[in-house]
Amino acid sequence: MEQVISNPDSLTGVISVPGDKSISHRALILNSIATGSATVTGLSGGADVVSTMACMRALGSEIEEGNQPGTVKINGSGSALREPQDILDAGNSGTSMRLLCGLLASQDFTSVLTGDCSLRSRPMSRVVEPLKEMGADILGRKGDTLAPLTLRGGSLRGIEYTMPVASAQVKSSIMLAGLSAQGNTILHQPAPSRDHTERMLSAMGVTVDTDGLSLTLRPGSLRCVDLAVPGDISSAAFWLVAGLCHPNANVLVTGVGLNPSRTGILEALQAMGAGNNLALKNERVVGGEPVADLMARSCQLKGAEIGGDIIPRIIDELPVLAVAACFAEGTTVIRDAAELRVKETDRIQTTVTQLLRLGADIQATEDGMVIHGTGSLTGAVCDSCGDHRLAMSLAVAGLLAKGETTILDAGAASVSYPTFWESLAQLSGTQQSQA
């Protein structure tokens, strides 16, 4: 699918975004191995979450979809999963594969996890190594570092492990394995990362003690909990950048989750001078997670240096932040983000290559990018390279660029945001053309 985008006279309106992808994955997995039943509303309909749901069903989970989109009822198995009859396919979802590795490491059967071409090239050693240390039996390509992965579950032991990178996926995988391990599991993080797993486990009756960047998980059983999944701030980020950078914009994104481990994009935009033009409205708590409506209005951003401890909390938003930097005064430096090179694509190189097509003054570095703001881009033909976040970042660039921008493989956006192009048309007041 190709998408042609032009610069609208204004960007105005009120929209909602899909349910938080990270919370959706965890709601499906944890309720499936808990006791009782739960109703989850606001579940992300993106392809990544659909992959997790399909894998859990193949493992015997009873997940019934409701009449309303994003609503499911889950009948918990009390950890009694069954051996799958076929290979489990995580699609394009690194979260699905890494979390399922932790879940399956303790199951008393053999399972095989694979994914699409992109996922099969992404490093899995970061979860395989600690899981093996816990006693898991895992085989994979290239020295057990790449999928497909074969797991022969069995008895695990809790470990004390210092994580080499701050990663919510790695942390959550180890914690899932630790639920049924003998003894406590202790993790030391180099920097904060998303804490949705800790919050959900605590709500479901398992003790997770935190002390700064360290946490201790005590093994235990879970009870199902109803959840209302808030809007995904990673999806909202595209509209926030568009609203701040378009010269005639006033955008309100409703019901967005503001978990402190996820708000790096707001901090970065404030560091770039968003000020009162980026505001929180109607702050509340929903399902144990802080939520607010986010307003973004036209302003002049300024270059900033983005690096250090904020990077794990903004890693998914860095491509669209690079778009914002193109319209900021001065130079923006993104550093300490080498993790971008092992996402769905090498997001450092693909972001730089595609924005260069639009006339950006941008260079790749080993662990980030340097962007000299020019205040303008010019429409051109770009390629998402099959990366959902790059597709949507290029769409924002197209809304801001002069002339027409054509995005190849624009359908990749559906991985996390199935209604993205409808939302874009709504805010721009135009019918964007597809080919």
CB 294 within 8 A of CB 240: yes
Helix, strand, coil share (%) of the chain residues, nearest 5: 35, 30, 35
- Integer Rg of the chain from CA: 21
Q: Which residues of 335-366 are buried (b: 16+ CB within 10 A; e: fewer)?
A: bebebbeebbbbbbebbbbbbebbbbebebee
Q: How far apart are the first and last CA of the chain?
A: 6
- Residue 252, strand partner residues: 14, 295
Sort strands 278-286 and 227-228 into parallel, antiparallel or unpaired: unpaired
What gap in Å lies between CA 208 and CA 219, rounded to an integer?
A: 9
What gap in Å lies between CA 137 and CA 97, rounded to an integer?
A: 16
What gap in Å lies between CA 414 and CA 37, rounded to an integer?
A: 29
What gap in Å lies between CA 232 and CA 95, rounded to an integer?
A: 15
What gap in Å lies between CA 417 and CA 126, rounded to an integer?
A: 27
Given 293, 316, 383, 387, the catalytic residue: 316
What gap in Å lies between CA 48 and CA 21, rounded to an integer?
A: 8
Any catalytic annotation for residue 316?
Answer: yes
What gap in Å lies between CA 412 and CA 426, rounded to an integer?
A: 20
What gap in Å lies between CA 236 and CA 234, rounded to an integer?
A: 5
| Tokens coding 1 | 């699918």
Which amino acid is located at 170 in the chain?
Answer: V
Furthest-apart CA atoms within the chain: distance in Å: 62
Backbone angles phi, psi at 193, to 5 degrees: -140, 175
- Quote the DSSP letter at residue 45: -
- Quote the DSSP letter at residue 230: P
- What is the set of active-site residues? 316
